[in-house]
Amino acid sequence: MSQDTGSSTDTSSSPPGTSTPPGDSGIELAKRRRWPLIVGALIVVAVVAAVAGWRFLGSESASPNETAGATLTVVTAEGNASEQALVEFIGREVAPRYGIKVAFRGLADSTTLNRAVSDGEVAGTVYQHKLWLSQVLEANPDFEEVAATPVFRWGFGIWSDRYRDVADLPQNARVSLYSDPANEAQGLWLLERAGLITLKPGVDKWKATQKDIATNPRNLQFVLLDFAAQSRSLADFDATVGYTEYYLAANIDIAKQIFAPPAPDEFAGQLTIGTRWQDTDNIKNLVAAFKDPEVQDFLRTDPRVQGILLPL
Give residues with Cβ within 8 angstroms of 209, minimum separation 6.
Answer: 181, 184, 185, 188
* Percentage with pLDDT > 90 across the chain: 65
Tens digits of residue pLDDT in 182-207 = 899 999 999 999 999 999 999 988 88
Is the separation of the CB atoms in 269 and 309 below 8 Å? yes
H-helix or E-strand spanning residue 141:
none
Mark residue 23 as left, alpha or beta (left: phi above 0; alpha: psi -120 to 50; beta: remaining): left
**Residue 110: its pLDDT value, please?**
87
Domain 71-155+267-310 in this protein, CATH class:
alpha beta
**Residue 280: its pLDDT value, please?**
97
Architecture of domain 156-262: 3-Layer(aba) Sandwich (3.40)
How far is 123 from 111, CA to CA, in rounded Å?
Answer: 15
**Residue 6: its pLDDT value, please?**
38
Mean pLDDT for the stretch of residues 7-14? 37
CA nearest to 165, candidates 228, 258, 89, 45: 258
**Same-fold call for 71-155+267-310 versus 156-262:** yes
**Residue 60: its pLDDT value, please?**
52
Q: What is the pTM of this model?
A: 0.72
Domain segments of the chain: what residues? 26-57, 71-155+267-310, 156-262
Tens digits of residue pLDDT in 216-249 = 999 999 999 988 788 899 999 999 999 998 898 8
**Residue 233: its pLDDT value, please?**
93
* Percentage with pLDDT > 70 across the chain: 81
pLDDT band at 30 (very low <50, low <70, confident <90, very high): very low
- Mean pLDDT, the chain, rounded, equals 84
pLDDT band at 39 (very low <50, low <70, confident <90, very high): very low
pLDDT band at 263 (very low <50, low <70, confident <90, very high): confident
Is 55 a residue whose pLDDT tops 60? Answer: no
